[in-house]
C-alpha cells in the first residue's frame, strides 16, 4: 500500500512533463519505483528510480534535475536522489490509460 509520502511524491512528479511528449513523467511510465528510507526529524531520504523515453535524450540532465529538485521540496523528504536506469527500456505500454488517451495511442498498446 502506498504511504502518504509516496502519494505526495507522485503528485509532485506529475508536475514534470517530458520535453518531447506532453505527458507528465508518472503517467508516461518513466517512474519505475520510489524508495523511502528510514526517517528522522529532518524527514526521509527518497530515491526515485526512473528512465527516459530514449537513452540519448538531449534533455536528460534537465529532466533528472527537475525531478530531484521537485522531490526535495516535498514535505517529509530530507534528501532526494534520482537513479536513472534503462533496464528495462521504456516503451509506450508503460503509459497510463489517461496518457494513452491524451496522446492518441489508446488501443495501440
The answer as to whether 59 is a domain residue is: yes
The answer as to whether 49 is a domain residue is: yes
Q: Provide the domain count of the chain.
A: 1
Q: How far is residue 76's CA from residue 58's CA, in Å, rounded to a whole number?
A: 32
Show the low-confidence residues of the chain (pLDDT under 50).
none
**What is the average pLDDT value for the chain, to the nearest integer?**
93
Q: Rounded to two decimals, what is the model's pTM?
A: 0.90
Cell for 72?
526535495
The answer as to whether 32 is a domain residue is: yes
Print the domain residue range for 74.
4-86
Given the C-alpha cell 508536475, which residue does it identify?
15
Q: How far is residue 73's CA from residue 12's CA, in Å, rounded to a whole number?
A: 9
Amino acid at each position: 500500500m502506498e504511504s502518504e509520502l509516496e502519494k505526495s511524491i507522485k503528485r509532485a512528479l506529475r508536475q514534470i512533463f517530458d520535453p518531447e511528449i506532453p505527458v507528465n513523467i508518472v503517467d508516461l511510465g518513466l517512474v519505475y519505483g520510489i524508495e523511502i528510507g528510514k526517517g528522522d526529524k529532518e524527514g526521509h531520504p527518497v530515491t526515485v528510480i526512473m528512465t527516459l523515453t530514449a537513452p540519448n535524450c538531449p534533455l536528460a540532465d534537465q529532466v533528472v534535475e527537475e525531478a530531484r529538485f521537485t522531490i526535495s521540496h516535498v514535505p517529509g523528504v530530507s534528501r532526494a536522489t534520482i537513479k536513472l536506469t534503462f533496464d528495462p527500456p521504456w516503451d509506450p505500454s508503460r503509459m497510463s490509460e489517461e496518457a494513452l488517451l491524451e496522446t492518441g495511442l489508446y488501443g495501440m498498446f
